[in-house]
Every structure is written in C-alpha cells, then in structure tokens.
Amino acid sequence: QAIAILDSGVGGLTVAKEVMRQLPREKVIYFGDTARTPYGPRSSEEVKQFTEQIVDFLIQFDPKVIVIACNTATAAALDHISQKVDIPVIGVIHPGARAAITATKTGNIGVIGTIGTINSGAYTAALKQLSPYINVMSQACPALVPLVEQGDFRSEHTRSTVSESLNGMKDKPIDTLILGCTHYPFLMEPIGQVMGPHVKLISSADETARETSTILYDKGKLAIGDETPVHQFFCSGDPVMFQSIARSWLGE
C-alpha cells in the first residue's frame, strides 16, 4: 500500500520529497493536476470538485493515507474528503501553522499563499487556534505558481516578480513567513533574498511528512522490510515539463 499525494501541479513534490526522505521505505503515488493548474484563482466549490475527482482516481490504488499537498485544496476540501473516504487524509495547513508557531519568537507571522488560501482565512484560523496571541499578516501572491509550473525558479523575471509579489509583506514586522503554497519552496532562494535573513521561511513539507509518519505508526501501517520502493507519478497535462521538474527536484 502506498502514500497517495496530490496537488494542482508540481507544488506537492515539495511535500513528496520530504515524505520520501523521512519515510524511505514507503511507496508514493503522486498526482499533479497540471492541466488545470493554478487552483488559486478558482472558486472553492470548483477546487473541491477537482480534489474529489483526483481522490476518486487515487483511491483505486488502495492507498493507506492521502496527503492533500496543496493549501488551496486543503482549505477547500480537506473536511469534505476526510468524511468521504475511510482512510486518513492529511492536509498541509495545520502542519504549516504548527511549524510557524514553533519557529516564531515575536508572535508576528506572515502568510503568503494563493488567492483561495488567503481568502479562506484557514491559516489565520489554524494559527489562532494554536495561540490566540499570534499576530497574522497575509498576502496573496497569484503570480508565483505559474512561474514554478514553467520551471522558472531563478531568472531575472522570476526575481522581479517575487519581489513585486512580496511588496506588501517585506516591510512588515514579522520574524516568520509561512510559505502557504506548496509551490513556493521552489522559490525559497529568491523569496529569502527579498525578505532578508531575519525572517524564517516555513514550508509545510517537513511537518506534513512528520504527521504522515505519526499517523502510519499509530495505525501500525509503516512499511517494513528493506526493499526500495518504486514511486509512481501522474499528471493531467503535458508530462514533459512535469517530468523535468520532478526529476531535478527529487534528484532522480
């Protein structure tokens, strides 16, 4: 049985990579909805419908857990999907919030994400649930996902787009910035350059992989043995760019 991971495109690979690193015996089945990316500007109803379709596809493989490695889909569909299937479903928003609370010293946390994620208020709710004294500043950055889907992580154009997108955030008195979209860790370097060394950048990947591992352990479902798993990748659009990004990111 595998760990099923889904995203609107290549973003969830940032989570998949961490799952593979922390759980090297586990097989991963990944689905990226590259034909319909980005999810960010879509209505939450539509994102919920798309997520449901992908889950219907993945469930055929009889996975032991499903990881919704997309913040937009987590905000729109996590509760619905959790009720619909009878295996554990993990989202990326609560893990991201937990990681940020652990990292912050001042309690002033920034969140960047897609329009859907930011408008849902899901991060603010998750952070306030963990600690009512947290101050949250959020900003949607809709221009970033298309850059990542094009495999453009470091060009001048990317650097200036990242800088413009962070205009509303870079002078805020935060010490921690949640990369509230799983695509953004691909842009860690240019984002770090704009925000400066005093701001810690938090991705959900680490903590999501840890939650996955805890759940599998509790259910007695961690893979045993020393066979190297063969992962499977699917995408709904042209596989050429997807494959090239996946290969270089996962180092295969």
Angle between helices 71-84 and 122-130 (to 10 degrees): 80
Q: CA-based diameter of the chain, in Å?
A: 50
Residue 114 within binding range of ligand DGL, rule CB under 6 A: yes
Q: By rule CB under 6 A, what string of x and - marks binding of each residue 118-157 to ligand DGL?
A: ---------------------------x------------
The number of C-alpha atoms within 13 Å of 236 and in the hemisphere containing its C-beta is 18
Asked if residue 142 has a cis previous peptide bond (ω within 30° of 0), the answer is no
- Residues 6 or more apart in contact with residue 213 via CB below 8 angstroms: 22, 23, 222
Contact window for ligand DGL (CB under 6 A) among 22-30, 36-44, 132-140, 194-202: 36-44
72 vs 176, beta carbon nearer ligand DGL:
72
Q: Which residues pair with 108 in a beta bridge?
A: 135
74: three-class secondary structure by DSSP: helix
Residue 208 within binding range of ligand DGL, rule CB under 6 A: no
Contact window for ligand DGL (CB under 6 A) among 2-10, 58-66, 214-222, 225-233: 2-10
Please identify which residue in 68, 70, 93, 136 interacts with ligand DGL, judged by CB under 6 A: 70
41 vs 229, beta carbon nearer ligand DGL:
41
62 vs 164, beta carbon nearer ligand DGL:
164
In whole angstroms, the minimum distance from the beta carbon of 147 to ligand DGL comes to 12
7: three-class secondary structure by DSSP: strand
Please identify which residue in 17, 27, 183, 200 interacts with ligand DGL, judged by CB under 6 A: 183
80 vs 221, beta carbon nearer ligand DGL:
80
Q: How far apart are CA 128 and CA 105, in angstroms?
A: 15
Q: What is the DSSP letter of 10?
A: S
Q: Is 8 annotated as a binding residue?
A: yes
Q: How far apart are CA 102 and CA 65, in angstroms?
A: 26
- Backbone conformation region of residue 47, classed left if phi is above 0, alpha if psi is from -120 to 50, else beta: alpha
Residue 95 within binding range of ligand DGL, rule CB under 6 A: no
Q: What is the DSSP letter of 65?
A: E
Binding residues for substrate: 7-8, 39-40, 71-72, 182-183
List contacts with ligand DGL (CB under 6 A): 7-9, 11, 37-40, 70-72, 113-114, 117, 145, 181-183
Binding residues: 7-8, 39-40, 71-72, 182-183
Active site residue ranges? 70, 181
